[in-house]
Amino acid sequence: MVELQNYAKPRRPTWCPGCGDFGIWNAIKRALLKLELAPHQAIIYTGIGCGSKLPDYMTVNGFTSIHGRPIPVAQGAHLANHGLKAIVVAGDGDTYGIGGNHLMHALRRNADIAIMVQDNRVYGLTKGQYSPTSPQGFKTKTSPPPAGAIDRPVNPIALAMGAGATFVARAWSGDLPHLIEMMMAAIRHRGAALLDILQPCVTFNPDYAYDFYRERVYVLEENGYHPTDRAAAWAKAHEWGDRISIGVIYRVEDRPSYEEQVPALEGGPLIERGFREWTAEDYAALEAEFV
Ligand SMILES: Cc1ncc(C[n+]2csc(CCOP(=O)(O)OP(=O)(O)O)c2C)c(N)n1
Ligand code: SF4
């Protein structure tokens, strides 16, 4: 039987005290445990960012890609071994900025990956530049006063719905039981799941920390909300201000994943099927065709 300590590692996170990454780190271990996924049955792909250090601090398969690229790396690796649960954990800069193109295509393909975004609305690791989800007017070294950030922020929920996502949810790192539920639902989902996790960066974005979210968030599941109603979900996607919903905002249940539709994967994960030795005749046939 798997236990919580199976995911533990004797290494202390270097995150600032109070960082929301601690909640995400605690929640993912518990979500894997509740799903009875042993460390060798899942893999966490990350990019580069404060939060992307997460697999360093737990026992699980991990793949640190480069900034903005964990999604395509996960998609490729998942084609080779779709028997392993694929989870991407990366920052808002990583996922909605430099990796935004990859996000869109993974969602429309319904690639079987749970994408969890540590959305602190700032670039943490590189010391506080504004990010795609930073509010207008946010003043940083790259969005200096008097105007601050001029761009309108990305709306992750509407972006994902527009891209054809079949699972779109929001959680926040200060509500651990609910975050665990959302992570479990995202991992269980058949196809691509986007889970936007509101996460305080207490060092570079202190105005959007614990008090801000605690005063505003409410749980959709407790309010009779049905995530299969697209029109209601679209309206919910644009609710942001005094009230911020957390929960599954939109879900399509009957669409097959990308991997389920790839004919070459019908016989099971490629990695388990061995490799055929190439003969001299195979090479000769290839040469005759292309040279
Ligand atoms: C291709 C590339 N561009 C830029 C960087 C520099 N860089 C590293 S992390 C980062 C942003 C981190 O912000 P985010 O992804 O939101 O994660 P956080 O640190 O806030 O968790 C940037 C711009 C890089 N490492 N590689
Ligand atoms: S800089 Fe921000 S995101 Fe990075 S560890 Fe510190 S509080 Fe967390």
Which CATH number does the domain housing residue 242 bear? Answer: 3.40.50.970
Q: Rounded to whole angstroms, how far apart are CA atoms 201 and 123?
A: 9
Ligand nearest to the CA of 125: 1
Which helix (H) or strand (E) segment holds residue 247: the answer is: strand 244-251
Name 244's bridge partners: 217
Separation of CA 283 and ligand 2 centre (Å) = 53
Nearest CA to ligand 2 atom 5: 15
* Beta carbon of 21 within 6 Å of any ligand 2 atom: yes
* Contacts of 10 by beta carbon, 8 Å cutoff, 6+ apart: none
* Beta carbon of 201 within 6 Å of any ligand 2 atom: yes
Separation of CA 48 and ligand 1 centre (Å) = 5
Nearest CA to ligand 1 atom 24: 67
* Total structural domains within the chain: 1
| Tens place of pLDDT per residue across the chain (291 aa) | 899 999 999 999 999 999 999 999 999 999 999 999 999 999 999 999 999 999 999 999 999 999 999 999 999 999 999 999 999 999 999 999 999 999 999 999 999 999 999 999 999 999 999 999 999 999 999 999 999 999 999 999 999 999 999 999 999 999 999 999 999 999 999 999 999 999 999 999 999 999 999 999 999 999 889 999 999 999 999 999 999 999 999 999 899 999 999 999 999 999 998 888 999 999 999 999 999
pLDDT confidence of residue 287: 96
pLDDT confidence of residue 1: 86
Number of H helices, E strands in the chain: 9, 8
pLDDT confidence of residue 214: 96
pLDDT confidence of residue 276: 83
Strand order in the sheet with 85-91: 61-64, 42-46, 85-91, 113-119, 193-198, 167-172, 244-251, 217-219
* Range of the structural domain that residue 34 is part of: 4-290
